[in-house]
Structure 1
Amino acid sequence: MTGLFLALAGCGAIGTPVIVAERTAVGEVEIVAMTANSIAAANASTYQPRTLPAIFARTTGTAGSTTGFGALPEPPVAEERRPTGLSTRIPPQIDPGPYRLGAGDIITLATPESANTVEALTGLLAAQSRRLGYTIQDDGSISIPDIGRINLGGMTLQEAESEIFSAMVDQDMVPNFSLEVSEFNSKRVTVGGAVQSAAILPITVSPLRLAEALTAAGGIDTEDLDYASIRLYRDGTMYQIPLETYLKTPSIQRLILTDGDSIYVDTEYELDRAQAFFQQQITVNSLRQQARANAISQLNTEIGIRRAELDEARANYAQRIQLDAVERDYVYIAGEVGQQSRFTLPFERKASLADALFSEGEGVPNASGNIGEVYVLRGTGDGKGIRAWHLNAYNAANLVLATRFELRPNDVVFVSEKPLTALSRVMGEVAASVRLLGI
């Protein structure tokens, strides 16, 4: 039997349990019960979480510009011929529906006069201005700082407002704004021929009618009403309206125009000059489309290069973190927990006692951990003492306090063992020693 006691003494089976005493080698320990008030005092200590490098806040951005396509050819002049009569081919009435946003349109986001709202939208609108315009890019999107790219192409104003509202809510911003189109550039109608001034007219939220388009071009400039005609090229079909018919028919004057319509006022019967004019417009549109395609291709290439640079820089930083080559802040978890470990404080936010205890610490084992004796040990400001914040979670409602208690660098989270845990371990080692000694 003497050999048994010597064996137990040698292996440390009968030992002293780990506790939080009121005196230590670094000074006295002040034990403070965790309450709502004491947690508020503990959280008041100054601490600024480490921030991620600026590379994580950067985006690919929008680069590139539309390549120029040079001067356009002059329309050819056809041989003049006197007609014997003019036929009438009137285009069908259309319902344009609500205006839909397109590439080139400029929208304006406006905020109310309230200073609080402007502060809430910092990064979205300039501090000195309550209105800021955004041009819809060729891919139909706009880029808003702190929110990112939002695709608005083909949407009505109401749909665009809803899309921006959702994007702002996703970024925890106050969605208090108004939206309007300040410049209409995506939908146009061309007017040429016998008018005072050839023009390219935008289509706005209000329908553009035939009479309005001709008036905007300075009106019809011809003295030969008998043989003048208005020709409209739409979707591959040419329509013809004799000028006399146009002047006598209000319903024709109110014809609604649509994007891509080309109007040519001709004083000749033959279609040669009108055909040349329309062909020129088709060529212009083709060149514009090709230029846009080239610009989008260039933009995608530049964005791809930029994204690769960002991904590489971020991957390098992640590798440095994995190799422990980046200075971080830590909290240490000890005692009767699922896993004694070192808990890394996160970037750009504060962690709570619950975060450390139930992630790296893997919780408190029911069999051995004393949930009523949970401590957060923190050195005092003068370095000559320790303050121990005590959480008694025998009342499970007190676990809510663990979610509110903010951790600081070099805190030690300690959980005591249950009173019978030490005895249980001693008895286990006694049994093992008995088997070892053959008693």
Structure 2
Amino acid sequence: MTFGGRTVRRIPFVFCALALTGALAAGCSTIYRSPSVTAGVSNTAKVRVVKVTPETVLVANRAPYQPKTLPAVFRVSAGSGVGSSPRGGGTLPNPPSTQDASRQGLRLDPPPAVDPGPYTIGVGDVVVLSTPSTQGTVGELSGLLAAQNSRNGYTVQDDGSINIPDVGRVRLSGLTVDEAEALLFQRLVENQLDPTFSLEVSEFNSRRVSVGGAVGQPGVLPITLTPLTLGEALAAAGSVSVADIDLSSVRIYRDGSMYQVPLEDLYSRSDLQNLQLIAGDSVFVDTDYDLGRAERFFEQQIVLRQASLAGRQTALEELSTAINLRRANYDEQRGNFAQALELGAVDRDYVYLSGEVRTQGRFTLPFDRSATLADALFDTGGGLARETGDASEVYVLRASDDVREFGAITAWNLDVRNAAHLAMAAKFELRPDDIVFVAENPVTRWGRTMSQIIPSLITAPINSLSD
């Protein structure tokens, strides 16, 4: 046949048919075979396909599994535990005894009136947590017993906190009883403990007043929920014991200043008897106006208070050092674990993603909790491949651990063509060695098959002609 001035050989139809047949045969030898899930029994497995429904999710989640746990070092705090309580500063000694001295004139110089406000909890106070009890006594709050069971309470330590098992350290210093109850209620709720309780201060040790001189029982008096007045303090110390009221006075040392109230004025005026004392006051009953003896008493109180504060400061520094050392040790242990984890030296549980997901790979099950199908799909997997995946064929393939069911595999099938079914993916818990598989859609399967056949159809006739 002549075409464009050239003679072209006509290829017989039979040759074309043979070439096409050969191309198909050559393509079929390597034709694409897509993976799929088929129910039934084969030589290697027994596959059972189960539709994922709210009911079957419960069945699948009953498969026993204990998640891997983080080391205990991740659950401890450097500021809690044995050895984390600072030392105290000790108690004050007995005041000096009285001495005879020359008489001096008396002058009324009372301290200014103060309003101490509501009582605030401080260091050394003992607080008691109590629940309603039919025994008529303060009951023990279940699960919250302190180490000081003999006192049925918790001593506020030098850092202003109490240490409650299962709750941790709670700072109460500087809070009123109502504020402390609100804070404890919040901490109990946060730790999922019964918040039915009441709080009371059983021992008042943080705010005290020293009383010495000519009294029946010199010592240290606590300031309680009720403000302490000068008259009450003297009565609590065994009352004044003097031979001549006209020649005796009460000296009060407060914040670096000394005040004087003659006994004659004190007993004749109720406003002086009702003078409110504050924490740190030192009261001295002088019978002979010896300012030197009163000064020595006040100096002794100042030195003791400074020694107590210095001891507490040293204890706090020691505590801070111990906590820093403990924290460094915990950080080192956690760092070693993280490094071993990065190097793959820690035994982990895995789930594998295959098929039409954005990223095929291995999903690591987390510590201390279970992961769901949604976690694996949308974390490591990056979600379904919308262009190629079949939303009706999302599977979780789980092999049976029962030796009596050797080779048995359950294919849990989730159809997410209805996007609402993704809610079940967030409930479906994964187990170690599960396979998450998403099948390809029919169009993708056909396209991939044709992409392998068409090149063969083109090259086979050319090869035949060249031969």
TM-score (norm 2): 0.83
Out of 48, 66, 77, the position equivalent to 2:87 is 66
Which position in structure 2 is the counterpart of 1:200? 220
Contact 1:192 1:263 in 2 (8 A): yes
Task: Confirm or deny that 1:155 pairs with 2:204.
Answer: no
Out of 282, 288, 294, the position equivalent to 1:262 is 282
In structure 1, what residue type is equivalent to 2:332? E
Contact 2:154 2:162 in 1 (8 A): yes
Task: Confirm or deny that 1:29 pairs with 2:50.
Answer: no
Give the drift of 1:298.
Answer: 0.4
What is the aligned-residue identity percentage?
A: 47
Which position in structure 2 is the counterpart of 1:387? 410
Which position in structure 1 is the counterpart of 2:339? 319
Question: For residues 231 and 362 of structure 1, what CA distance do their matches in structure 2 show?
Answer: 80
Q: Secondary structure at the match of 1:376?
A: strand
Out of 81, 84, 91, the position equivalent to 2:102 is 81
Out of 272, 276, 298, the position equivalent to 2:292 is 272
Root-mean-square deviation (Å): 2.9
Per the alignment, do residues 188 and 4 of structure 1 end up closer, same or farther by CA in structure 2, a change over 3 Å counting? farther
Contact 1:341 1:360 in 2 (8 A): yes
When Rg is computed on C-alpha atoms for both structures, the one with the higher figure is 2
Contact 2:94 2:218 in 1 (8 A): no
Matches within 5 A, 1:222-241: 222-241=242-261
Give the drift of 1:315.
Answer: 1.2
Contact 1:228 1:268 in 2 (8 A): yes
Q: Secondary structure at the match of 2:115?
A: coil
Per the alignment, do residues 430 and 193 of structure 1 end up closer, same or farther by CA in structure 2, a change over 3 Å counting? farther
Which position in structure 2 is the counterpart of 1:20? 37
Which position in structure 2 is the counterpart of 1:118? none
Instruction: Encode CA deviations 1:245-281: one digit per residue, 9 max, x unaligned.
Output: 1111112111111110110000122311111111110
Number of equivalent positions: 427
In structure 1, what residue type is equivalent to 2:217? S
In structure 1, what residue type is equivalent to 2:33? T
Question: For residues 204 and 74 of structure 1, what CA distance do their matches in structure 2 show?
Answer: 22
Task: Confirm or deny that 1:138 pairs with 2:158.
Answer: yes
TM-score (norm 1): 0.88
Q: Secondary structure at the match of 1:226?
A: helix
Give the drift of 1:15.
Answer: 1.1
Out of 54, 65, 84, the position equivalent to 1:47 is 65
Which position in structure 1 is the counterpart of 2:11? none
In structure 2, what residue type is equivalent to 1:17? S
Per the alignment, do residues 43 and 229 of structure 1 end up closer, same or farther by CA in structure 2, a change over 3 Å counting? same
Give the drift of 1:388.
Answer: 1.0
Matches within 5 A, 1:276-425: 276-380=296-400, 381=402, 382-425=405-448
Unaligned 5+ residue runs, structure 2?
A: 1-18, 135-140, 463-467
Give the drift of 1:291.
Answer: 0.2
Give the drift of 1:78.
Answer: 6.3
Per the alignment, do residues 198 and 236 of structure 1 end up closer, same or farther by CA in structure 2, a change over 3 Å counting? same
Contact 1:26 1:385 in 2 (8 A): no
Moved more, 168-177 or 394-403: 168-177
Q: Secondary structure at the match of 2:246?
A: coil
Question: For residues 180 and 411 of structure 2, what CA distance do their matches in structure 1 show?
Answer: 54
Give the drift of 1:57.
Answer: 2.1
Give the drift of 1:372.
Answer: 1.8
Per the alignment, do residues 399 and 289 of structure 1 end up closer, same or farther by CA in structure 2, a change over 3 Å counting? same
In structure 1, what residue type is equivalent to 2:52? M
Q: Secondary structure at the match of 1:181?
A: strand
Moved more, 364-373 or 281-290: 364-373
